[in-house]
């Protein structure tokens, strides 16, 4: 991967549009990113990561939108990059809020992604060709070309010193977590989990098979019962080896015992069957004799009972004969009965009809009643002629009520309108007062808003003022301490130089040799060379003191510059905020905020008051119209009501005379109609009663003469003797039934076989039945015992067959569980006989760690001048913990390994850097060997001395020699002097800016 151009727009601390030309910046293969803390150096890498993967380097939410950018400038990143030989341009716009194109306010801006490829046409001219606008397609293509996930990219392309110092010091667990993410070894953890789950599944199936064997054994034991015995012991859960072949032997022995018991029970059942048949024959003979004896005795009893009924039968015969003679008088007797009934009904109807007549009509004869009814019918005709006028009176009454209701409604509308118009003036005055008060509150709120904005600015300036003053105090203390240290270092340097100058003769004497001329006097003889006193400083001591003095001077100057900058910032903040305490400003701000809220609340009433005035105007117009309309309508309805009232009074007087006491003409007509109907009904009933009396006298004379002729003394005797046809038939049937029954029982008594059976002793069927029942019980018990024995044998055979199948399955599961458990233990590192407790994933990661350590040591050897080498360790961890990812450092000076946390700060840095570079090589190789032409190294150089820094830069130069571009992110001034290609990131109140510098700093 090689970076060409990066364009940022409203991104992070960069408010405008900035472009980084990596082609120019990488001209020397090594470039430096430097600038103040918080200026945005790391933001460049964030932009690169966001362009490639659509996400920032960290998993947490990160604000990409610049707070300094204008509202109409969208946040956007464009990256021109070559990956695996493909030149790509990636444009990404994150989701953000932007101003609406029409109107005010903001609207969401959706995230956008555009991928383009650099292609060459047939004429050899290159251009960008759009490739995709899909987030998913672009992300997949970038990931496939790089061969790395976002996490791997951030660990390989950006080498964060702090993170790899943690990796250097981490325990095996944390180191495993990081390596697992980079090398995607979760598949090995999945294999380990699958083997463990598979082992538990097979164990569960084996235990289930064992439980099934024990369950079948319990069922076999239950089916066998306590009577069957076996020479083998039943299987139990305590002895796992007894649930296979010994269990089958025990079950087979029980089957043989059951089969022998079934043969014995079958022989007993056949013997009981023969005895049962013999007893059934004896019981049948006894029951037949008992039936014959019972039949004869019953016939004797019934014949004696029938003989006792002979007098009753003779009386029935006499009654039958009288009824036959009376039947010849039946037509006359029926006609007499009908005449009696008609006479009684006619008299009753006449009495009822006369009870409904008026008192003056109650004693009239039939002809007079008819005449009175006709006179009433004539009066009804006269009243019917007046019915239309009564209907007209009802309509007139309804119309008067309607007009009166309209008069009242118009009067109410008139009153309502005039009352409202009287109250309108007070309402209008109140609304106008509210409108004026709201307008004044609105003007007051504008003034308060301006004051509040000014006060907020002063509060922010006061906060900066107080913060700068606190920093000034601390920085002054630091400057005093630095000046004191620099003064001491200067005195020490001067003292060492003076002492070295005083002993210079002794220093020169150390270089004299016999026969060689003295560099001072030229003599080749050195009889008494000067001797250096103890503790005489060397040239190296003087140089070291000078460097210490210079370093402390630089520290003092840096603090002095920082103090100057703080004082300028504090003065600027004081000029803006004044000397008013921050607490007072906050109190004023809170008071003014409350006043503004109150003013806005009062100003909000203006619209309501104006709407009320508009509504009042509309209602005034409506009420004025309502008053005029109601006055005109009321006058019209009063005149109409007076005319109708006079006509109503005249018609009412006429109809009252015709109605009499009735409420209406219809009611009067109904009363007269009922009276006429009652008179006509009474006349008809009187005529019918006279006719019925004459018919009854005639029928009585005819019936009396006929009864005397048939031999009856009186008409009453003939009527009593007469029976209905049904009663006569019933008497005939009763007489015939008695005669037939007597003949039937006599025939039974005459049967010789029954006479012979009656002469024998009484049959004992109870004894015969008891003997037969005992034989039945004995046979049933024998059959049940035989069936039970046979069923038990069948059940034991079936259960034993099932047991054999489960035992075969159990044997296979036992073997499978042994194999699966062994594989799971091997994968988890807990198998017996293993040298170290290393899991499968840890084993794979240990191999990767060895590769990383081997790649890291090639750089660490150069950086440490051959002193240090990293070594992978798989020793057993403490307290039996998992092992396999240990890391230690070997010191060539002592020849002994030691822990990584014993390294100094500078040693930890170049050891961590070696690890990071080694890991980058291994991950790159793991990702398919795609070359990563650009690397970024973040900080850590400040912990190195000059020689070590030189060695580290040599290693970085070696990376550059392999056609890699290395970007260093650091604050160290020495790097600015040694690296010519630099990208300076400056921060300011309006956002950060970028500057490409091409000369070493002085």
Judge whether residue 928 has pLDDT over 60: no
Q: What share of the chain is helix, strand, coil (3-state, %, to 5)?
A: 70, 10, 20
Residue 878: band (very low, low, confident or very high) from pLDDT cuts 50, 70, 90: very low
pLDDT of residue 1002: 44
Which residue would you say has higher pLDDT here, 227 or 948?
227
Tokens, residue 925: 């190789």
Residue 91: band (very low, low, confident or very high) from pLDDT cuts 50, 70, 90: very high
CB contact at 8 A, 52 and 90: yes
Residue 19: band (very low, low, confident or very high) from pLDDT cuts 50, 70, 90: very high
Cα separations in angstroms, 327 against 340, 718, 736: 20, 9, 21
| pTM for this entry | 0.40
Is 260 exposed, middle or buried, given 0-12, 13-18 or 19+ CB atoms closer than 10 A? exposed
Q: Which residue has the tokens 């054994």?
A: 217
The tens digit of pLDDT for each residue in 963-999 reads 567 778 877 777 777 788 888 888 887 888 888 887 6
Tokens, residue 472: 């000034």
pLDDT of residue 76: 93
Nearest-5° Cα angle at 405, 637 to 398: 90
CB contact at 8 A, 886 and 872: yes
CA distance 851 to 846: 9
Across the range 419-448, mean pLDDT stands at 85
Which residue would you say has higher pLDDT here, 499 or 586?
586
Across the range 465-480, mean pLDDT stands at 88
Cα separations in angstroms, 355 against 39, 359, 569, 679, 682: 126, 9, 129, 11, 9
Q: Residue 474: count other Cβ atoms within 10 Å of its Cβ.
A: 11
Nearest-5° Cα angle at 292, 288 to 293: 115
Q: Please report, rounded to a whole number, the percentage of residues in the chain having pLDDT higher than 90.
A: 3
pLDDT of residue 518: 64
Tokens, residue 490: 């200067």
Is 516 exposed, middle or buried, given 0-12, 13-18 or 19+ CB atoms closer than 10 A? exposed
User: Contacts by 732-737 with C-beta closer than 8 Å and gap 24+?
Assistant: 732/320, 734/316, 735/313, 735/316, 735/317, 735/320
Which residue would you say has higher pLDDT here, 174 or 372?
372
Q: How many CA atoms lie within 13 A of 892 on its CB side?
A: 10
Cα separations in angstroms, 350 against 366, 392, 667, 760: 11, 43, 27, 83
Residue 946: band (very low, low, confident or very high) from pLDDT cuts 50, 70, 90: low
The tens digit of pLDDT for each residue in 440-454 reads 888 888 888 888 888
Tokens, residue 829: 């590192």
Q: Please report, rounded to a whole number, the percentage of residues in the chain having pLDDT higher than 70.
A: 85
Cα separations in angstroms, 408 against 397, 528, 622, 642, 914: 17, 150, 20, 15, 107
272: left (phi over 0), alpha (psi -120 to 50) or beta: alpha
**DSSP of 504-551:** HHHHHHTT--TTSPPTTT--S--SS---PPTT---HHHHHHHHHHHHH
Is 931 exposed, middle or buried, given 0-12, 13-18 or 19+ CB atoms closer than 10 A? middle
Judge whether residue 1001 has pLDDT over 60: no
At how many degrees (to 10) do helices 665-709 and 387-502 cross? 110
Across the range 349-376, mean pLDDT stands at 80
Question: Phi first, then psi: what are they for 94, rounded to 5°?
Answer: -75, 165
CA distance 299 to 880: 111
637 three-class SS = helix
Judge whether residue 881 has pLDDT over 80: no
Nearby residues of 747 by Cβ (< 8 Å), 6 or more positions away? none
CB contact at 8 A, 271 and 782: yes
Residue-averaged pLDDT of the chain: 80
DSSP bridge pairs for 118 = 128
DSSP bridge pairs for 106 = 99
CB contact at 8 A, 329 and 706: yes
Cα separations in angstroms, 682 against 336, 359, 378: 26, 13, 19
Q: Which residue has the tokens 């995709």?
A: 132
Cα dihedral: 952, 956, 958, 959 (round 10): 150
Q: Residue 499: count other Cβ atoms within 10 Å of its Cβ.
A: 16
Nearby residues of 770 by Cβ (< 8 Å), 6 or more positions away? none
The tens digit of pLDDT for each residue in 110-143 reads 889 999 998 988 887 888 989 888 888 888 888 8
pLDDT of residue 940: 57
Question: Phi first, then psi: what are they for 979, rounded to 5°?
Answer: -110, 120
CA distance 757 to 755: 6
Is 990 exposed, middle or buried, given 0-12, 13-18 or 19+ CB atoms closer than 10 A? exposed
874 three-class SS = coil
Q: How would you classify the pairing of strands 965-969 and 30-35?
A: parallel
Across the range 514-518, mean pLDDT stands at 66
Q: Residue 764: count other Cβ atoms within 10 Å of its Cβ.
A: 12
pLDDT of residue 80: 94
């Amino acid at each position: 991967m090689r970076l060409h151009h990066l364009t940022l727009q409203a991104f992070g601390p960069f408010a405008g549009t900035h472009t980084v030309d990596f082609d120019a910046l990488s001209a020397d293969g090594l470039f430096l990113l430097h600038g103040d803390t918080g200026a945005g150096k790391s933001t460049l890498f964030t932009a690169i990561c966001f362009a490639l993967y659509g996400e920032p380097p960290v998993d947490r939410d990160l604000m990409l939108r610049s707070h300094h950018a204008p509202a109409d400038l969208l946040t956007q990143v464009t990256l021109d990059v070559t990956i695996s030989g493909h030149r790509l341009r990636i444009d990404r716009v994150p989701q953000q809020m932007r101003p609406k194109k029409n109107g005010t306010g903001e609207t969401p801006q959706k995230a956008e992604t555009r991928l383009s490829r650099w292609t060459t046409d047939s004429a050899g001219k290159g251009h960008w060709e759009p490739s995709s606008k899909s987030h998913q397609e672009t992300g997949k293509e970038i990931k496939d070309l790089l061969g790395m996930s976002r996490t791997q990219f951030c660990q390989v392309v950006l080498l964060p010193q702090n993170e790899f110092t943690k990796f250097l010091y981490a325990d095996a667990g944390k180191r495993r977590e990081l390596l697992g993410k980079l090398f995607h070894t979760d598949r090995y953890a999945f294999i380990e989990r699958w083997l463990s789950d598979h082992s538990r599944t097979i164990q569960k199936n084996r235990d289930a098979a064992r439980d099934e064997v024990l369950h079948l054994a319990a069922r076999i034991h239950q089916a066998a019962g306590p009577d069957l015995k076996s020479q083998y012991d039943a299987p139990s859960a305590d002895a796992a080896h007894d649930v296979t072949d010994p269990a089958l032997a025990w079950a087979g022995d029980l089957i043989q015992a059951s089969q022998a018991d079934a043969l014995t029970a079958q022989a007993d059942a056949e013997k009981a069957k023969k005895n049962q048949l013999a007893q059934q024959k004896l019981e049948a003979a006894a029951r037949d004799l008992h039936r014959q004896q019972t039949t004869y005795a019953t016939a004797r009893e019934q014949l004696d009972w029938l003989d006792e009924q002979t007098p009753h039968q003779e009386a029935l015969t006499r009654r039958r004969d009288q009824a036959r003679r009376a039947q010849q008088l039946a037509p006359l007797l029926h006609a007499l009965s009908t005449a009696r009934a008609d006479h009684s009904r006619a008299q009753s109807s006449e009495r009822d009809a006369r009870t409904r007549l008026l008192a003056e009509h109650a004693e009239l004869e039939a002809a007079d009643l008819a005449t009175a009814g006709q006179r009433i019918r004539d009066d009804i005709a006269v009243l019917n002629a007046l019915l239309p006028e009564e209907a007209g009176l009802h309509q007139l009454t309804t119309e008067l009520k309607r007009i009166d209701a309209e008069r009242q409604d118009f009067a109410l509308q008139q009153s309502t309108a005039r009352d409202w118009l009287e109250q309108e003036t007070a309402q209008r005055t109140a609304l106008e007062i509210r409108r004026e008060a709201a307008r004044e509150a609105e003007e007051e709120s504008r003034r308060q808003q301006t004051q509040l904005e000014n006060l907020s600015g002063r509060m922010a300036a006061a906060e900066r003022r107080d913060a700068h003053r606190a920093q000034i105090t601390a920085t002054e203390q630091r400057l005093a301490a630095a000046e004191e240290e620099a003064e001491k270092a200067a005195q020490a340097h001067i003292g060492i130089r003076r002492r070295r100058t005083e002993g210079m003769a002794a220093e020169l004497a150390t270089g004299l040799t016999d026969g060689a001329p003295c560099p001072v006097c030229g003599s080749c003889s050195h009889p008494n060379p000067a001797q250096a006193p103890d503790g005489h400083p060397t040239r190296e001591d003087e140089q070291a003191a000078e460097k210490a003095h210079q370093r402390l001077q630089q520290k003092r100057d840096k603090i002095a510059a920082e103090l100057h900058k703080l004082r300028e910032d504090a003065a600027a903040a004081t000029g803006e905020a004044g000397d008013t305490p921050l607490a007072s400003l906050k109190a004023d701000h809170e008071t003014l905020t409350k006043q503004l809220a109150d003013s806005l609340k009062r100003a909000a009433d203006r619209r309501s008051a104006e709407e009320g005035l508009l509504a009042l105007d509309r209602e005034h117009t409506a009420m004025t119209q309502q008053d005029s309309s109601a006055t005109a309508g009321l006058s019209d309805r009063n005149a109409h009501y007076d005319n109708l009232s006079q006509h109503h009074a005249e018609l009412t007087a006429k109809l009252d005379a015709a109605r009499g006491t009735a409420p209406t003409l219809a009611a009067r007509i109904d009363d007269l109609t009922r009276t006429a109907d009652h008179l006509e009904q009474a006349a008809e009933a009187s005529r019918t009663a006279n006719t019925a009396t004459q018919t009854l006298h005639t029928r009585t004379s005819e019936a009396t003469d006929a009864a005397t002729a048939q031999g009856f003394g009186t008409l009453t005797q003939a009527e009593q003797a007469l029976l209905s046809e049904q009663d006569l038939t019933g008497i005939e049937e009763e007489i015939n039934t008695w005669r037939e029954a007597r003949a039937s029982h006599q025939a039974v008594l005459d049967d010789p076989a029954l006479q012979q059976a009656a002469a024998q002793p009484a049959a004992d069927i109870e004894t015969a039945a008891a003997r037969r029942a005992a034989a039945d019980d004995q046979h049933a018990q024998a059959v049940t015992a035989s069936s039970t024995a046979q069923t038990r044998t069948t059940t034991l055979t079936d259960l034993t067959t099932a047991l054999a199948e489960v035992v075969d399955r159990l044997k296979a599961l036992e073997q499978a569980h042994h194999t699966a458990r062994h594989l799971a233990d091997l994968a988890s590192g807990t198998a017996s006989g293993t040298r170290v407790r290393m899991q499968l994933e840890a084993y794979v990661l240990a191999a990767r760690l060895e590769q990383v350590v081997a790649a890291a040591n090639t750089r660490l050897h150069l950086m440490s001048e051959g002193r240090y080498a990293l070594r992978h360790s798989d020793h057993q961890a403490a307290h039996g913990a998992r092992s396999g990812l240990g890391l230690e450092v070997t010191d060539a000076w002592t020849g002994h390994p030691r822990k990584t946390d014993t390294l100094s700060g500078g040693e930890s840095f170049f050891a961590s850097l070696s690890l990071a570079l080694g890991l980058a090589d291994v991950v790159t190789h793991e990702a398919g060997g795609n070359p990563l032409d650009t690397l970024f190294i973040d900080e850590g150089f400040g912990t190195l001395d000059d020689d070590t820094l030189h060695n580290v830069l040599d290693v970085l130069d070696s990376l550059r020699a392999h056609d890699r571009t290395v970007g260093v992110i650091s604050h160290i001034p020495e790097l600015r002097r040694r690296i010519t290609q630099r990208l300076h990131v400056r921060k300011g109140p309006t956002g950060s800016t970028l500057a490409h510098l091409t000369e070493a700093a002085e």
